[in-house]
Amino acid sequence: MSRNKETGRKNRLMNRIKANRRVPGWVMMRTDRKVTTNPKRRSWRRSNLKL
């Protein structure tokens, strides 16, 4: 990717970074550990982003 990114692409990348987190601990406690994984979790090696 280029060093100077346009603002729209930069915002989309930031949203993807924020969304790529694990499920919070309080969610696991509230659901009695039924929800332990984030279905939208993404690995930088396995999948590419469509920006």
Average of pLDDT values for 16-30?
96
Asked if 35 and 28 touch (Cβ cutoff 8 Å), the reply is yes
How many whole angstroms separate alpha carbon 23 and alpha carbon 46? 20
So what's the architecture of 1-51 in CATH?
A: Orthogonal Bundle (1.10)
Q: Which two tokens stand for residue 24?
A: 């919070």
Q: Can you give the pLDDT at residue 3? A: 85
Checking if the pLDDT of 17 tops 80, the result is yes
Task: For the chain, report the end-to-end CA distance as a whole number of angstroms.
Answer: 11
> What's the pTM?
0.73
Q: pLDDT band at residue 51, thresholds of 50, 70 and 90?
A: confident
Pick the closest to residue 13 from 5, 23, 4, 22 (CA basis). 5
